[in-house]
Amino acid sequence: MVKTFSAELRDLAEVAGVARHWRDVGGRDQSVSDDALAAILAALGHETSSARHIKASVAHLAARARHLPPMLVTEVGLATPIDTQAASAALTGEDGVTRKINIDGGMLAPVSEPGYYDLSLDHQLLKLAVAPRHCPLPDVCGKRMWGTSVQIPALRDTTSRAFGGFGALAAAAQTLGRTGCDAVAINPVHALFPGVGDDYSPYSPSSRLFLNTAMGDPDLLDLPSFPKGEAKTLIDWPTALPRRLVELRHTYAKLTVERRAQIFQASLAEGPALRIHAVFDALD
C-alpha cells in the first residue's frame, strides 16, 4: 500500500507522462488508484517503494529530459525545433552520405527529401524522421479511375509457396489490368531481417532504402525457380523467412560465374550503402 507518499507518487506520474484520470465508455470520469499507479510506474522501471526512491526517480527523469530524444519527427521543407545550443549537426541519410546541417536559434534547417536520417550533435546520435508533406497523386486528366489493395504475402499462384512475392504480385497486376484496374496499393516492401525470422513486420523495416529480399522471385529474371512448397492459410514467418533466404542462396549457387558477375556489377550501382546494409543484417 502507498498511502504515506501519495503526493510524491503523483508528481512522479506527471513527470513520467502517466495519466491518472480517464473517462470510460459510459462518460464517467475515473481515477487510477495510488496502488495501481505505483505498480504501473514500477513496471516502467521507476522506483516507487518509498518517498526517497520516488524523489530519486523524479530526479532521474529530469536529468534524462536534458538529453535529446532518441527520435525527432518532422516534415519535408519545415524547420524543426531542437533543444540545443549547437550551430550545426552532421546528418547522414539512408544512402550513407553525411553532410552538415545548420541549426539557427534552436531550429534545425529544413530537409528536402523524406526518409530516415542519423543526426549527430552534442556528442549524441538520434534519428530524424522526415515525412513527405502529402501523398503524391496521379494525374487523372478527368478520367474516372478505380483501384484495389493487396497484401503481397497473401497472394497465391500455381507455385504453392509459403507466401506470395513479387512474382505473384506481377501476375495479380496483369490480371487486374485486364479488367481495367488503374492502381494497386500494396503493403510496404522495405528490407526486413530475413535471416533470423524475427522483426518480420513490414512496418518495422531494417531499411527503407532497399527492398525486402524475401519478396524476390527468381522467375522474374529467368533464374532457377524456388522449389514448390505447401501453401498454408496462415504464414509461419519465423520459419518461412529463414527458409526463403536459404532458397535464395541455393538459387544463387546454381548460377554460372558469368551470371554471378552480372549480379555483382548490378549491386555496385547501389553504392556502398547496399553493402553496409547487407553486412549489418548478416551480423545482426
Q: Would you state the pLDDT for residue 173?
A: 95
Q: Are 52 and 42 in contact (CB under 8 A)?
A: no
Query: In 3-state terms, the chain is what percent helix, strand and coil (to 5)?
Result: 35, 20, 45
* Each residue's pLDDT tens digit, 108-147: 999 999 999 999 987 888 999 999 998 877 777 778 889 9
Is pLDDT at 282 greater than 60 in this prediction? no
Q: Are 134 and 75 in contact (CB under 8 A)?
A: no
Concatenating the DSSP letter of every residue in 214-231 gives GG--GGGGTPPPPPP---
* Residues constituting the chain: 284
Q: Would you state the pLDDT for residue 1?
A: 43
* Each residue's pLDDT tens digit, 222-278: 888 887 776 677 888 888 888 888 888 898 998 999 999 998 888 888 777 787 777
Section 40-62 average pLDDT:
87
Q: Would you state the pLDDT for residue 149?
A: 95
Is pLDDT at 281 greater than 60 in this prediction? no
Considering 18-27, 171-180, 206-215, the range whose residues carry the highest mean pLDDT is 171-180
- All three cell numbers of 230, joined, read 505447401
Longest CA pairwise span in the chain (Å): 77
Is pLDDT at 68 greater than 90 in this prediction? no
Element holding 191 (H helix, E strand): strand 190-191
- All three cell numbers of 108, joined, read 534545425
Q: Would you state the pLDDT for residue 77?
A: 95
Section 173-177 average pLDDT:
95
Is pLDDT at 79 greater than 90 in this prediction? yes
Is pLDDT at 49 greater than 70 in this prediction? yes
Q: Would you state the pLDDT for residue 283?
A: 47
State how beta strands 107-108 and 190-191 pair. Answer: unpaired
Q: Would you state the pLDDT for residue 267?
A: 85
Task: Report the chain's C-alpha Rg in angstroms.
Answer: 26
pLDDT band at 168 (very low <50, low <70, confident <90, very high): very high
Q: Give the span between the Cα atoms of 194 and 172, in whole angstroms.
A: 24
Q: Would you state the pLDDT for residue 92?
A: 94
pTM of the model: 0.57
Q: Would you state the pLDDT for residue 2?
A: 45
